[in-house]
């Protein structure tokens, strides 16, 4: 199974971030967080980067691919550490970064893009990855899916 996904998640994040900025500039609905309080968004940005970095470190330690465009190259099913709380911590981290960006921008408009990011990444990236991982790791992956949520959450 040689699946190559065409929309790198990092590109999706950059495009969503640009759309958030554009909406903030063009249609800044209710101003939710004024300066300097909006700088708290940096805490979310750093948290999101930390979550994603933790996942990358675990993938490196397991000697498996971190390339999201080639899920079939996965050589290990990582289930411990941060992967015990999210099956997709890198994508969760990206979502947290976008939430931080929305706080930094300060208006309501950018927040409409965060759910769009979740839907796009789920359909363009996560679901195809899940199909590949099910083929590669079978029952081990299915069991993992019953214990840990796609985005976040332990299930038992």
Give the predicted TM-score (pTM) of the model: 0.93
Residue 2: CA atoms inside 13 Å, Cβ hemisphere, count? 0
pLDDT tens by residue, 1-10: 555 677 899 9
Please indicate whether residue 61 or residue 29 has the higher confidence score (pLDDT): 61
Mean pLDDT, the chain, integer: 93
Name residue 31's beta-bridge partners. 107
How far is the C-alpha of 78 from the C-alpha of 36, rounded, in Å?
40
pLDDT tens by residue, 89-133: 999 999 999 999 999 999 999 999 999 999 999 999 999 999 999
Instruction: Give the rounded percent of residues in the chain with a pLDDT score beyond 90.
Output: 83
Domain locations in the chain as residue ranges? 40-147
What per-residue confidence (pLDDT) applies to 156? 58
- Look at residue 44 and tell me whether its pLDDT is greater than 80: yes
What per-residue confidence (pLDDT) applies to 145? 96
Cα 107–chain centre separation: 22
- Look at residue 16 and tell me whether its pLDDT is greater than 70: yes
Cβ contact 65:75 at 8 Å: yes
């Amino acid at each position: 199974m040689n699946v190559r996904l065409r929309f790198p998640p990092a590109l999706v994040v950059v495009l969503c971030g640009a759309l958030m900025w554009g909406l903030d500039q063009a249609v800044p609905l209710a101003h939710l967080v004024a300066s300097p309080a909006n700088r708290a968004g940096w805490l979310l940005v750093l948290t999101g980067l930390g979550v994603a970095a933790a996942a990358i470190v675990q993938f490196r330690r397991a000697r498996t691919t971190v390339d999201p465009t080639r899920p079939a190259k996965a050589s290990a099913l990582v289930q411990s550490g941060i992967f015990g709380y999210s099956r997709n911590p890198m994508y969760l981290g990206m979502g947290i970064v976008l939430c931080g960006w929305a706080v930094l921008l300060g208006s309501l408009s950018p927040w409409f893009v965060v759910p769009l990011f979740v839907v796009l990444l789920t359909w363009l990236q996560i679901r195809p990855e899940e199909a590949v991982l099910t083929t590669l790791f079978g029952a081990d992956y299915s069991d993992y899916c019953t214990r840990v949520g796609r985005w976040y959450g332990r299930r038992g």
